[in-house]
Amino acid sequence: MQTTYQMFIETKVPENELIVSRTDLSGKITYANETFAYISGYNTQELVGQPHNIVRHPDMPRSIFKEMWETLRREQIWRGYVKNLRKDGGYYWVYAEVSGVYKDGALVEYKSMRFPVDKPLKETMQQTYDTLKSKEEGLARAVVYLSNTNLEKLKKLAKDEGVLEDTLINRILSDTLF
């Protein structure tokens, strides 16, 4: 994933609306409500038929989804905190409850309902997941502040080169660090 300004923009989940989706047994979306579409930045037609990892955020550790799927395969309810990726590269945090949908006693689909998360908890979960991600994949999240002067220089350079500022940031990061 590229570094962009947008990735630091959080969308707040409304208190009084439910984000609902259902998937088939492989995790492909079969239903998305309007709130899910709105909060993820897609429309419902774009979501239905896609694997649910369409909203997977790169900050999420793999082990969380492994545990989710193991819980679902045991036909139990999985509950946990999830940072999701919006279509525009931004993010939103939810507390999710994922469980089976049964027809005549047989598991036919999965469903998920999500709830808003308090700010302090989001911060705690971000740290928890950063630590997990670092242990599991050796990847660390880095947030960098630029001085206003350097930001102006960057904007000018981008304009001179006729590229987006985000493109330039990615070029600088890959040129100097790797």
Ligand X SMILES: Cc1cc2nc3c(=O)[nH]c(=O)nc-3n(C[C@H](O)[C@H](O)[C@H](O)COP(=O)(O)O)c2cc1C
CB of 34 within 8 A of CB of 44? Answer: yes
**HSE value, Cβ hemisphere, 13 Å, CA-based, for 47:** 27
CA distance 77 to 97: 7
Select the residue interacting with ligand X from 107, 111, 165, 170 (CB under 6 A): 111
Give, as ranges, the residues between 140 and 159 that touch ligand X (CB under 6 A): none
Q: With CB under 6 A, what is the number of residues at the site for ligand X?
A: 17
Fill in the amino acid letter for 95: Y
Give, as ranges, the residues between 36 and 55 that touch ligand X (CB under 6 A): 52-53, 55
- Scanning 109-117, 130-138, 139-147, 155-163 for contacts with ligand X by CB under 6 A, the matching segment is 109-117
CA distance 104 to 62: 33
- b or e along 42-81 (b: 16 or more beta carbons within 10 Å of the residue's beta carbon)? beeeebbeeebebbebebbbeebbeebeebbeeeeebeeb
Select the residue interacting with ligand X from 7, 13, 39, 82 (CB under 6 A): 82
- Three-state SS at 134: helix
Asked if 27 is part of the footprint of ligand X (rule: CB under 6 A), the reply reads yes
CA 81 to chain CA centroid, nearest Å: 11
Asked if 32 is part of the footprint of ligand X (rule: CB under 6 A), the reply reads no
- Scanning 20-28, 133-141, 152-160, 168-176 for contacts with ligand X by CB under 6 A, the matching segment is 20-28
Q: How far is the CB of 69 from ligand X (least distance, A)?
A: 6
Residue 27 or 41: the one with the smaller Cβ distance to ligand X is 27
Select the residue interacting with ligand X from 31, 38, 65, 95 (CB under 6 A): 65
The β-bridge relationship of strands 29-32 and 106-115 is unpaired
Select the residue interacting with ligand X from 86, 110, 117, 133 (CB under 6 A): 110
Give the residues lining the site for ligand X (CB under 6 A): 21, 23, 27, 52-53, 55-56, 60, 65, 68, 82, 84, 96, 98, 110-112
